[in-house]
Amino acid sequence: MTRTMWDSSVGKKTVMAVSGLIMLLYLAVHMFGNLKIFFGAGDFNHYAHWLRTIGEPFMHYEWTLWVIRVVLVLAVVAHATSAYQLSRRDIKARPSKYVHARPRASYATRTMRWGGIILGLFIVWHILDLTTGTVHSGGFQPGHPYQNVVDTFSTWYGNVIYIVAMLALGLHIQHGFWSAAQTLGVGSRTRDRVLKIIANALAVILTAGFIAVPVGVMTGLVA
C-alpha cells in the first residue's frame, strides 16, 4: 500500500476489517477451546498445556504461543489506532455550529465506540486475571487454568465483568463483521441478506459459547 492509501479513510477501514477478522478467528478458536472446561479439569488443563507445546520439537516451548500473542497485539494496536484516527476525522469533519443543540453520532457508531472501549479494558482485566493472576480473586495457580476459571466465576463481580463484556462483544461482532464485509467489497444486494445472517449467527454463537462458562460455574455444572 502506498502512503496515501494508509492515510485514506478506506485504507484505515481496510486495516480495521483485516485486524478485526484476525481477532474474530482467534475468538472462535478461544471460545471452542474454553468449552473443554465441561469435560473436567484433566481435559482443560491438558489443553492449556498443549497450547504451550504446539509445533514441538520444531518450535521450542511456548514459541508458537508467543507468535500468536505478537500477531494479536499487532491486530489490537492496528484496530484501535485506526478506530481512533477515523473517529477524530469524523469529529473534525463536522461543521462547527449545529442548528440542533446536541449533535450525536449514529446508534451504530456510538455502540461500536463504547463497545470497543469496554472490550479494550476487558482484555487488560482478563489477562491480569487469568494469564498473569495479578488481579485474580483466589490463589492463582499457574498451569491450572480450570481452578483459576472456577475461582473467577465464584465471585459476583467476576461474573458481572465477564457477562457484560461478552454482551458487548456480541454487539461489536454483529456490526463489525457486517462493516468489514462492506469495506472489503464482499457485499452486494443479493449477498447482503446472507452476510447479515452470518453476522448475527457469529455474534450469538460466540456470545453464548463464552457465557456458557460462567453459567456452568454458577449452576455448579463446573466445580
In this structure, what are the phi and psi dihedrals at residue 219, rounded to the nearest 5 degrees? Answer: -90, -5
Q: Burial, 76: exposed, middle or buried (Cβ in 10 Å; 0-12, 13-18, 19+)?
A: middle
Q: How far is the CB of 18 from ligand HEM (least distance, A)?
A: 17
Q: How far is the CB of 13 from ligand HEM (least distance, A)?
A: 21
Q: Which is nearer to ligand HEM, 9 or 137 (CB)?
A: 137
Cell for 156? 459476583
Q: Which is nearer to ligand HEM, 162 or 177 (CB)?
A: 162
Q: How far is the CB of 200 from ligand HEM (least distance, A)?
A: 18
Q: Which residue is nearest to ligand HEM (CB)?
A: 48
**Rounded Cα distance, 21 and 177, in Å:** 8
Q: Which is nearer to ligand HEM, 6 or 39 (CB)?
A: 39
Q: Which DSSP string corresponds to 143-188?
A: T-HHHHHHHHTTSHHHHHHHHHHHHHHHHHHHHHHHHHHHHTT---
> Which residues bind to ligand HEM, rule: CB under 6 A?
27, 30, 34, 48, 51, 69, 72, 119, 123, 126-127, 130-131, 145, 149, 162, 169, 210, 213-214
Q: Which is nearer to ligand HEM, 160 or 194 (CB)?
A: 160
For residue 96, give every residue at least 6 positions away whose Cβ sits within 8 Å of its Cβ, in sequence order, or none: none
